[in-house]
């Protein structure tokens, strides 16, 4: 049976007020608000965007959805988990301040920002998975203390998974720092000596202190490396490389199994909304503004994370007239979808239902 995915055309040129109306329309198409009970803690899972990033979901776009949720429960909150890498989102104090700077303040969104894995990312709960890659997942505790989740995702490319969408937001985004480390531990970057300029930038950004300078080149210590990929992103000379086929597959499959553990926790009380606006080569963890790789497409929603991601990717590639994500990084992004389908996370077989305002 095809999974229903709702679609409304949208562009940043619509302006925040119209996008908020379209976001509310796509949310209401699911009939999800009726599943929220008065005593529910409702987690609106989001990525607040790293400092100087402009692609992230804007708070003004969510005002309609939040108002609708508040009609059912006053215990709604916006949330994300802390990062492995060094930056403004590595602890809750700096993370919340950054969210405020990006407009996620009470006077705009009407609900609090809570970082789900505590002050420094240690607050977690383990869930049994018993998958082919993961035996147990380590999920940020505030998410698992909630009864309802609305997963709000900005669709982007990604340096390690090819695509970052609902599956990544659910699997990687809900994981505690220990859970992120577990998923990334399969990734082992290497430095190509001939291309290394010994600039030291990767040393500055490595959160594990795993990189040293020896004989005028950088060396990565496997035993210390946590596989976060930060060195790959910041290297300007292409010196840091990975075994993409092997490492990306394992990472994507682990991510899908983590996502399944979170989805199973919420049962029928989780939904997914993907914003296909300013689709960038890299994810919102990049601390800079990036131009879109395709013109703005719209917003999609579903009760199925695999279907909503498959639809998002298809819509982007249709608009681009090519595989826009492979143009960024030549990775097989379909692994996360195929594995998700195999383990029962969702289905790639979808029915697209286009709606409009009025």
Residue 204 and residue 89 share a domain? no
pLDDT at site 245: 53
- Is residue 26 pLDDT above 70, yes or no? yes
pLDDT tens track for 43-58: 999 999 999 999 999 9
Q: Please check whether residue 277 is in contact with residue 12, taking contact to mean a CB–CB distance below 8 angstroms.
A: yes
Residue 258 and residue 210 share a domain? no
Q: What is the mean pLDDT of residues 107-126?
A: 95
3-state secondary structure of 174: coil
Q: Which residues contact 20 (CB under 8 A, 6 or more apart)?
A: 60, 61, 62, 63, 64, 65
Residue 201 and residue 63 share a domain? no
pLDDT at site 234: 78
Here the CATH number for the domain that contains residue 225 is 3.30.70.20
Structurally, how many domains does the chain consist of? 2
| 354: confidence class by pLDDT, cuts 50, 70, 90 | very high
What percent of the chain stands above pLDDT 70? 97
Residue 74 and residue 163 share a domain? yes
Residue 97 and residue 17 share a domain? yes
Mean pLDDT of the chain: 94
Q: What is the mean pLDDT of residues 112-131?
A: 94
Residue 102 and residue 56 share a domain? yes
Residue 79 and residue 201 share a domain? no
Residue 159 and residue 196 share a domain? no
Here the CATH number for the domain that contains residue 21 is 3.40.50.11440
- Is residue 217 pLDDT above 80, yes or no? yes
pLDDT tens track for 150-188: 999 999 999 999 999 999 999 999 999 888 878 887 777
Can you tell me the distance from the alpha carbon of 223 to that of 227, in angstroms, rounded to the nearest whole number? Answer: 10
The model carries a pTM of 0.88
Region of 299 (left: φ > 0; alpha: ψ -120 to 50; beta: rest) is: beta
- Lowest-confidence range among 46-55, 212-221, 311-320? 212-221
Residue 333 and residue 313 share a domain? yes
Domain region containing 208: 190-241
pLDDT at site 233: 66
pLDDT at site 287: 87
Question: What is the DSSP-derived secondary structure letter of residue 331?
Answer: -
| 349: confidence class by pLDDT, cuts 50, 70, 90 | very high
Q: What is the mean pLDDT of residues 295-306?
A: 98
Residue 142 and residue 40 share a domain? yes
pLDDT at site 241: 78
- Is residue 194 pLDDT above 70, yes or no? yes
Measure Cα distances from 164 to 152, 173, 283, 303, 313 in Å.
12, 10, 7, 18, 10
pLDDT tens track for 223-255: 888 777 678 767 888 888 765 555 889 999 999
Phi then psi for residue 138, to 5 deg, are -115, 100
pLDDT at site 178: 81
pLDDT at site 244: 52
Residue 232 and residue 149 share a domain? no
Question: What is the DSSP-derived secondary structure letter of residue 194?
Answer: G
Q: What is the mean pLDDT of residues 77-81?
A: 98
Residue 97 and residue 204 share a domain? no
Q: What is the mean pLDDT of residues 141-149?
A: 98
């Amino acid at each position: 049976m095809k999974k229903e995915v709702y679609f409304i055309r949208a562009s940043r040129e619509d302006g925040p007020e119209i996008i908020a109306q379209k976001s509310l329309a796509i949310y209401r198409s699911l009939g999800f608000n009726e599943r929220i009970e008065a005593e529910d803690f409702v987690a609106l899972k989001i990525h607040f965007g790293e400092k100087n990033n402009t692609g992230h979901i804007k708070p003004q776009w969510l005002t309609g959805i939040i108002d609708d949720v508040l009609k059912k429960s006053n215990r709604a909150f916006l949330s994300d988990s802390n990062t492995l890498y060094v930056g403004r989102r590595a602890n809750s104090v700096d993370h919340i301040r950054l969210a405020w700077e990006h407009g996620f303040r009470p006077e705009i969104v009407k609900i609090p920002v809570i970082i789900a894995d505590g002050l420094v990312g240690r607050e977690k709960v383990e869930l049994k998975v018993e998958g082919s890659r993961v035996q147990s997942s380590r999920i940020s505790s505030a998410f698992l203390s909630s009864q309802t989740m609305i997963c709000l995702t900005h669709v982007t490319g990604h340096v390690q998974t090819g695509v970052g969408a609902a599956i990544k937001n659910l699997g990687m985004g809900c994981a505690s720092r220990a859970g992120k480390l577990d998923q990334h531990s399969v990734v082992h970057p290497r430095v190509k000596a001939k291309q290394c300029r010994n600039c030291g930038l990767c040393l500055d950004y490595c959160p594990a202190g795993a990189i040293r300078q020896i004989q005028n080149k950088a060396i990565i210590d496997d035993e210390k490396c946590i596989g976060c990929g930060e060195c790959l992103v910041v290297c300007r000379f292409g010196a840091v490389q990975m075994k993409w086929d092997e490492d990306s597959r394992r990472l994507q499959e682990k991510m899908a199994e983590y996502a399944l553990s979170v989805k199973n926790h919420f049962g029928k009380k989780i939904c997914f909304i993907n914003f296909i606006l300013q689709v960038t080569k890299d994810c919102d963890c990049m601390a800079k503004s990036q131009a879109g790789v395709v013109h703005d497409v719209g917003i999609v929603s579903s009760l199925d994370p695999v279907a909503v991601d498959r639809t998002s990717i298809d819509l982007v590639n249709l608009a681009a007239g090519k595989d826009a994500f492979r143009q960024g990084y030549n990775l097989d992004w379909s692994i996360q979808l195929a594995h998700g389908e195999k383990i029962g996370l969702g289905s790639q077989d979808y029915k697209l239902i286009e709606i409009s305002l009025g």
